[in-house]
Amino acid sequence: MDVSERENFVRKPRQRAVPLFPIPFKECRKTDAKSWNVFTPDLNVLKYKETLSKDQEKNLHDRAENLVWRAVGAEYYRASEFYWEICAWHDIFNLIHTDEKFRVDKRPYRFVEPDSNGKLSVLTRILDATFGIKTFFNLCNRFGFPAYRSNAKKEPEPLLCKDDLHYMTLNPRCSLIVDGVWGEAGLIFPFAAYEAKSGRHRYDGSAEKQVQHACQTYLAMLDDLARDPNNVTEYLTKESSQFQFFAFTSSASFWEVHVAWSSLEECMMQTIWKGDVRKYSEALQLIYIVDQVHDFAIKQHYPFVLKHLEAWFARDRQFPLNRGLWATHPDMNPPWLVLERESRTFKQEKAREAREARKTREGRIEKPKPSKRAPRKGKGKAWNWELLEQRKENKEVSEEVITMLSRPISISPDSD
């Protein structure tokens, strides 16, 4: 389904106000993506193969056969989670990984969550892979490292200049978070995430829970991007609500594909495919699905991000940041940076208090309270603390001697 088929569908924005902290959507419920007119990949591989040339069809079959072969071998040898991730990167996500528009990395993301006292706290999580848009240094071509390998002379997209994005994030009048790591701009506005588990986690659902939270957080970032920079209570255009996020999970050879979108305060999610990549037909389907997600990222997600970044940069130019003064003037710090520092200081203080309390507990010798009753003969005698300490010391010495005697004694042949 292309963008033109979704033009009449508008999802409602949730309530937002400046400053735009990346607050994940509170709820995530399962529902039908088709009823919300969300793009979902096609599953008819046979129909797709009719559109391919012989070379393209052979390449598709080779990728599926390689995936099946590695999956069967990994199951037989009980491979680790690391091996399954290698298979995913090589056989499933390779086209996205090699695309010069995108970057794939194991990257943490931060988010805001109220603690038990109602105070906003900054927390961090990390998935096995995050798929987002690649940024560039402004003068990378002039310093011998081309922005694009396929065309060394091609200049990078101006809206994806890493330094400009970084300073726009620092501008208190914008302070738009573009990267899961606040303040950075290396992998911006992800469109998909991946979490892998080894075979022993096959049925616990932990991978799905992890990507569900990532969906709630990254959709919140896209929701902020889609806002009108001069009025964050509304989306920039009618089509600005049409963003979505994909998630992949694997437990050994069993894979699931999820799609997520939002409306008002809710994140909605659907599992659109399940399969075992040891089976050739299902390995073929998964590769076909991932290729369609890649195509979605090129034709829809990438232009969507650039279009809305242009509006945010316009506001950044309207209220320019003095790049030489922001670091020395606390009043010029963006709200997210202030919150991050306060949260870090609060956590450090709580950790210090916990350490001191633990030391106090460990250093205190709790003696039993003396009984008010007169002790009977042969019972209720007072504790001999000196004797207890001596017994403890003797035990430690005894253990040390036993350890020493248990070691093999090496005698040099040259000794007399």
Residue with tokens 């990949």: 41
> pLDDT of 295-315, one tens digit each?
999 999 999 999 999 999 999
Give 274's contacts (C-beta < 8 A, 6+ positions apart). 254, 255, 256, 257
Distance from C-alpha of 297 to C-alpha of 131, rounded to nearest angstrom: 10
Give 18's contacts (C-beta < 8 A, 6+ positions apart). 232
Q: Which helix (H) or strand (E) holds 97?
A: helix 94-98
pTM of the model: 0.80
Per-residue pLDDT at 296: 97
Determine the 3-state secondary structure of 358 from DSSP: helix
Per-residue pLDDT at 174: 84
Distance from C-alpha of 278 to C-alpha of 288, rounded to nearest angstrom: 16
Which residues share a beta bridge with 250? 196, 255
Per-residue pLDDT at 86: 86
Distance from C-alpha of 143 to C-alpha of 75, rounded to nearest angstrom: 46
Per-residue pLDDT at 118: 74
Per-residue pLDDT at 5: 44
Per-residue pLDDT at 101: 94
280-296 and 54-76 are packed helices; what angle lies between their axes, rounded to 10 degrees? Answer: 120
Please check whether residue 216 is in contact with residue 156, taking contact to mean a CB–CB distance below 8 angstroms. no
Distance from C-alpha of 283 to C-alpha of 322, rounded to nearest angstrom: 53
Distance from C-alpha of 368 to C-alpha of 385, rounded to nearest angstrom: 11
Q: Which helix (H) or strand (E) holds 269?
A: strand 266-276
Distance from C-alpha of 113 to C-alpha of 121, rounded to nearest angstrom: 5
Per-residue pLDDT at 88: 87
Dihedral sign of CA atoms 282, 284, 288, 294 in order: positive
Q: Give every residue of the chain whose pLDDT is below 70, as ranges.
A: 1-10, 139-144, 199-204, 322-331, 363-416
